[in-house]
Amino acid sequence: MGLECIIYIGMAILYFNVMFTYVIVYDPPVFGSHHFSLSFWNASSPQTKAPLKKPNWVDDLHKRQPLIEMETVILSINCAASAEIAYRKLSTQLETSSRKFSLSYLISTLAWWLLATLLSSLSSLYYSLIHFFYQLSSFPIFSWVLIASRRVLKNTWINFRIRSCQILYWPIFLQENDITSISCVEDAEKAALQRHSTWSAMAVDLVLGNLIGLSLLFNTGDVYSWVLHFAKEFTNDILRSGCVWLMGVPAGFKLNTELAGVLGMVSLNVIQIWSTLWIFMASFIFYLIRAVAVMGITFGATVSAAFVIDVITFATLHVTALHWAITLVYSHQIQALAALWRLFRGRKMNPLRQRMDSYGYTVKQHVVGSLLFTPLLLLLPTTSVFFIFFTITSTSVNSICMLIEFAVSIIHATPYAEIMIWLVRRQRFPCGVWFEIEHYKKNILNSSSDRSNNSPEKKPVLMVSNLRSNFLSIGQILLPHYTTMFSGISASSLTTSARGVLSGKRMPSKLGLDLPPPRPWMHMPLRQYWTLCHGSIFSSSRKGSNHDLSLEKGLPKASQSSSS
């Protein structure tokens, strides 16, 4: 590959007072190979090796304001080869057309045609299945079924819609429609990453789904036995034993026997009713495991994981109901005690100004408040114990769902195309430039005091340096995507949730992580969709072959000069 250079010729009156020539040599940016960028991600990136004794002019240079034209220079370097793009494409097309009758070209074309046909047929099968469900939901007979399923299987419907949009739009994104990206190598790289992000995410999701689904299909009996055993232990050893333990003397605390008996019996009755219902529904667990496996094989790991979240939420509905009921009792009891405490202090809450104002209560109000405050305060430990128990149980169940939700969001947010390209060619992810000095004179690096004592001769000086790039690490590539995913979670929200538990509020059952935005449904005939998928894959294969030919040919040698 040829080298390009920027030559600066002029008088350095401020520092050197000599005629000098400064040559910057760099590899011309090529799409698919490398380019330059000024975005600094890591301050600890490798820089040039400076001399042991830093001259005074280096300190003066750091105090100066950076040149605003640096971004323009980098942009012009990235766009320097734009005039040769049309020529290279034309030459590679002519070279490809001259090799059409070669055996290797025919075999490569046939392989890509078969791959495009296979993927287009598979994607068309998914599209027809999704379109069938979309048309079926428009009938009034199935409208109530659709509404009920969206409420019960909320997470499944969200991820199913994301997968449907990916199947519908991936051939559209794969096509190169951005003409402005041709003029700049950096824009072309960003457009290429955007084109390959959709299909790569869908492919990785389907591969993970097939691995999980096939594992469940071959081990359905073992998974079924483990689920029944876990459900039995959770119901008997945790819920029932916990309620019986709370009805006695838990951890040595003396509770109100009557209130603890009422709360414990209500909880045991709810658990018994739900366990009886699940005895009749135990035979469906085997088919639910098969359904999770089929969903993973068909639509990917995210849809099957979302279905597991909905199944866990429905299976622990009795825990959620008991937690909601005891939370309602505990929160009202806390609010009543707080209001009665303000009554004794002669204070009243002003909801308009959100502050405490003084207020004069009557004697009857103080007497009634005293009669209510004593039993509520004495019954608070009993209510608190049941509230803590069901809060821990419900939070444990929600933590499992949040962990699965976190895994689903990680699968959606990971940029698989960027990771694969980074592993193959790291030069396509620059993060700042630096200069490697190849040739310089000793009098250039002397300080100003040395030059005053030993005035050098005014002879031309040549300085040659190479323009180098720093590169992103794998963590710096993943960080922006994961930061966007966790944009809805902050430390203040976690603190608010923790404080809300003390006042009788329920913990959130979802993390609220960011998912890919849903896209509008776009209907097209099945044959047109198949043609679109086939054309996108076949055209991308031709662009890849042309790109390989252009990299083999390289760029002709050129030079740019700037004089002052």
Domain ranges of the chain: 1-26+43-68+430-471, 329-382
| 3-state secondary structure at position 253 | coil
Kindly list the distances between the CA atom of residue 428 and the CA atoms of 189, 293, 311, 418, 472, in Å, as whole numbers in the listed order: 8, 38, 44, 9, 9
Pair 484, 413: CB distance under 8 Å: yes
410's tokens: 């990680």
314's tokens: 């429905």
Placement of tokens 């966007």 in the chain:
484
* Poorest-pLDDT segment among 73-87, 113-127, 272-286: 73-87
Gap between the Cα atoms of 219 and 212, Å rounded: 11
CA atoms within 13 A on the CB side of 415: 23
Q: How confident is the model at residue 83, as a pLDDT? A: 53
Pair 380, 337: CB distance under 8 Å: yes
Residue 489 backbone phi and psi in degrees, to 5: -110, 130
pLDDT in tens, 30-53: 766 677 777 644 333 344 444 445
- Indicate the average pLDDT of the chain: 76
Cα 286 from chain centroid (whole Å): 33
Helix (H) or strand (E) holding 409: helix 363-413
Residue with the bigger pLDDT between 437 and 177: it is 437
Q: For a pLDDT cut of 70, what percent of the chain falls above it?
A: 73
CA atoms within 13 A on the CB side of 158: 21
pLDDT in tens, 199-227: 888 889 999 999 999 999 999 889 999 99
Task: Give the angle 423-426-429 at the CA atoms, nearest 5°.
Answer: 125
Q: How confident is the model at residue 303, as a pLDDT? A: 92
pLDDT in tens, 405-432: 999 999 988 888 888 888 888 888 888 7
Q: How confident is the model at residue 169, as a pLDDT? A: 82
* Poorest-pLDDT segment among 6-20, 105-119, 382-396, 454-468: 6-20
- What is the average pLDDT across 250-258? 81
Pair 304, 296: CB distance under 8 Å: yes
pLDDT in tens, 319-352: 999 999 999 999 999 989 988 888 888 887 777 7
Gap between the Cα atoms of 533 and 255, Å rounded: 69
* Strands 430-439 and 347-350, bridge-based pairing: unpaired
466's tokens: 């190479």
Q: How confident is the model at residue 17, as a pLDDT? A: 47
Kindly list the distances between the CA atom of residue 26 and the CA atoms of 234, 430, 547, 550, 556, in Å, as whole numbers in the listed order: 66, 14, 21, 19, 13
Residue with the bigger pLDDT between 121 and 448: it is 121
Kindly report the number of other CB atoms within 10 A of residue 386's CB atom: 27
pLDDT band, very low/low/confident/very high, at 559 (cuts 50, 70, 90): very low
Q: How confident is the model at residue 265, as a pLDDT? A: 93
Amino acid code (one letter) for 476:
Q
Q: How confident is the model at residue 434, as a pLDDT? A: 76
Q: How confident is the model at residue 45, as a pLDDT? A: 39
Residue 308 has pLDDT above 70, yes or no: yes
| 3-state secondary structure at position 485 | helix
Q: How confident is the model at residue 357, as a pLDDT? A: 75
Placement of tokens 């933590």 in the chain:
399
Gap between the Cα atoms of 327 and 503, Å rounded: 9
Which of 78, 337, 61, 74 has its CA nearest to residue 184?
A: 78
pLDDT band, very low/low/confident/very high, at 12 (cuts 50, 70, 90): very low
- pTM, whole model, 2 decimals? 0.78
Q: How confident is the model at residue 15, as a pLDDT? A: 43
pLDDT band, very low/low/confident/very high, at 6 (cuts 50, 70, 90): low
